[in-house]
Amino acid sequence: MAGTKFAYVKIFELPDPLLPGTYILVRLDGHGFHRLSQDHDFVKPNDERALQLMDHGARDVMNEFKDIMLAFGESDEYSFLFRKSTALYNRRQAKILTTVVSLFTSSYVFNWPRYFHSLSLKYPPSFDGRIVLYPSAKEVRDYFAWRQADTHINNLYNTTFWALVQQGGQTTTEAHSTLRGTVSKQKHEVLFSRFGINYNDIAERYRKGSVLVREKLTAADASGITERMPVEDDDPEGGAGGTKEVQSEKKNKKPKIHAQVQLYHCDIIEQAFWDARPYLLE
Ligand SMILES: Nc1nc2c(ncn2[C@@H]2O[C@H](COP(=O)(O)OP(=O)(O)OP(=O)(O)O)[C@@H](O)[C@H]2O)c(=O)[nH]1
Ligand SMILES: [Mg+2]
């Protein structure tokens, strides 16, 4: 079609490159999930099926885009961190954002029956998305700390709120007013003294959210891992080029390293998580 008198309209399509050498963070969030969760009888405060479906979508995204090093999910949102040197789609903003969000959404719909079985989707869900660029590792770490702190605050509130309603017989209005102005310690006390619930005994998935990490593992490491969803191996690391003999010599010397996407529900605010994985921010 090139060369037609209509082709000039192409000049209205402007480039939208993302600044080089910065961390690309994509965050998506379920659109209208307050209603969707009610319409599909999500368990309150946390629906294991819904959270696992979110994790599945995020894993599909990470298996497709190998430059995503880390993802964090809670409730109806997921954040993805690309390595700062990524050249994906020449760092075109719209292309990266729309492809990530649409792949996640189609995975959510595609895999829905795997988690919700005979409970069918009543209408098509959608997710919004945004890209934020971060200049240094500090902002990236603080971003993930912010999201995990949010998970904690929301989950403590929701757990106490629904205990008051479901076990304490309060109306939702009463539960809201019971909790108004309370600090975290008071919510812990309500949970323990009224309902015998020790907040720290609640599943880590709910307290800490989901952390998907592209881990570098030796075969020995990998065999010791117990919590794992079905994964695809990334391309094994190792030098390309050189003769076959040189390559096989290398293989004999170095343990074979695989990058695999692992799911954790661990602390990512503390230094230890990042110290153990310096490559995430390199
Ligand atoms: N019962 C239940 N509800 C959930 C769960 N996860 C998410 N939700 C619902 O999803 C909402 C997500 O919050 P928001 O993203 O602020 O609300 P939203 O309705 O999606 O609004 P927009 O994102 O602005 O479109 C929560 O407020 C809950 O109502 C879950 O595991 N169980
Ligand atoms: Mg939402």
**pLDDT value of position 236:** 36
Q: Which atom of ligand 1 is nearest to 50's Cα?
A: 31
Instruction: Tell me the HSE value of 203 on the side-chain side, using a 13 A CA sphere.
Output: 10
Strands 127-134 and 68-74: unpaired
Choosing from 39, 75, 157 the residue with most ligand 1 atoms within 8 A of its CB, the one to mutate for a pocket test is 75
Q: Is residue 172 part of a domain?
A: no
- Is the CB of residue 123 less than 8 Å from the CB of residue 32? no
**pLDDT value of position 259:** 84
**Known binding site for Mg(2+): residues?**
29-30, 76
- Name the DSSP class of 212: E
Q: Which atom of ligand 1 is nearest to 29's Cα?
A: 23
Q: Is residue 160 part of a domain?
A: no
CATH number for position 124 = 3.30.70.3000
Measured between alpha carbons, how far is 266 from 227 in angstroms, rounded to an integer? 12
Instruction: Tell me the HSE value of 135 on the side-chain side, using a 13 A CA sphere.
Output: 0
Measured between alpha carbons, how far is 254 from 248 in angstroms, rounded to an integer? 10
Number of folded domains that form the chain:
1
Q: Is residue 73 part of a domain?
A: yes
The pLDDT tens digits of the residues spanning 191-215 come to 999 999 999 999 999 999 999 999 9
Q: Is residue 239 part of a domain?
A: no
DSSP β-bridge partners for residue 130: 27
- For residue 52, report the distance from its CA to the centre of ligand 1, in Å: 15
The pLDDT tens digits of the residues spanning 96-110 come to 999 999 999 999 999
Asked whether the whole model's pTM tops 0.75, one would answer yes
Nearest by Cα to 193 from 171, 166, 153, 163: 163
Q: Is residue 110 part of a domain?
A: yes
Q: Is residue 10 part of a domain?
A: no
DSSP β-bridge partners for residue 23: 134
Instruction: Judge if the beta carbon of residue 130 lies within 6 A of ligand 1.
Output: no
pLDDT beneath 70: ranges in the chain = 1-2, 218-255, 257
Q: Is residue 244 part of a domain?
A: no
Domain extent, residue 106, equals 17-149+204-208
Q: Is residue 115 part of a domain?
A: yes
Instruction: Judge if the beta carbon of residue 44 lies within 6 A of ligand 1.
Output: yes
Of all protein residues, the one whose alpha carbon is nearest to atom 11 of ligand 1 is 34
